[in-house]
Amino acid sequence: MPETPIEDQQATRVRQAIEHIAGKPLPQDWPQGALPAGTRVHITRDPNWDGPWAAEFTGAISTVGAPKPVQHAHATPGELEYFVTFDEPRYESSGEGPYHGAQIWDRYIQPE
């Protein structure tokens, strides 16, 4: 599903803000085999702990930045994180939020 111009403008504003804070551009080259931008997704909870989100919900893969490998000790080899725009604002299991989008590890993303 292609993104609308409003979503493209929002993704551009978010990308610019992140790049300003990080002091460098976000990657825009989409990895081969990654879910394409605009893909509708269902975000799941981890079965082994109460998180990372307070509930399961839906959203779409965003054009904010290309998926990139997760840099964390608990990541599986080759695991990607995606920018996801949420259909409705969501809270983390810790109660923080609401968030309109976030970077989500692919283990929590199920294409619809």
- CATH T-level assignment (fold) for domain 5-111: SH3 type barrels. (2.30.30)
pLDDT in tens, the chain (112 residues): 444 555 678 888 999 999 999 999 998 899 999 999 999 999 999 888 888 888 999 999 999 999 999 999 999 999 999 999 999 999 998 999 999 999 999 999 999 9
- Where along the chain do its domains lie? 5-111
DSSP string spanning the chain?
-PPPHHHHHHHHHHHHHHHHHHTSPPP-SPPTTSPPTT-EEEEPPBTTTTBSBSS-EEEEE-SSS--EE--STTPPTT-EEEEEEEEEEE-BTTS---EEEEEEEGGGEEE-
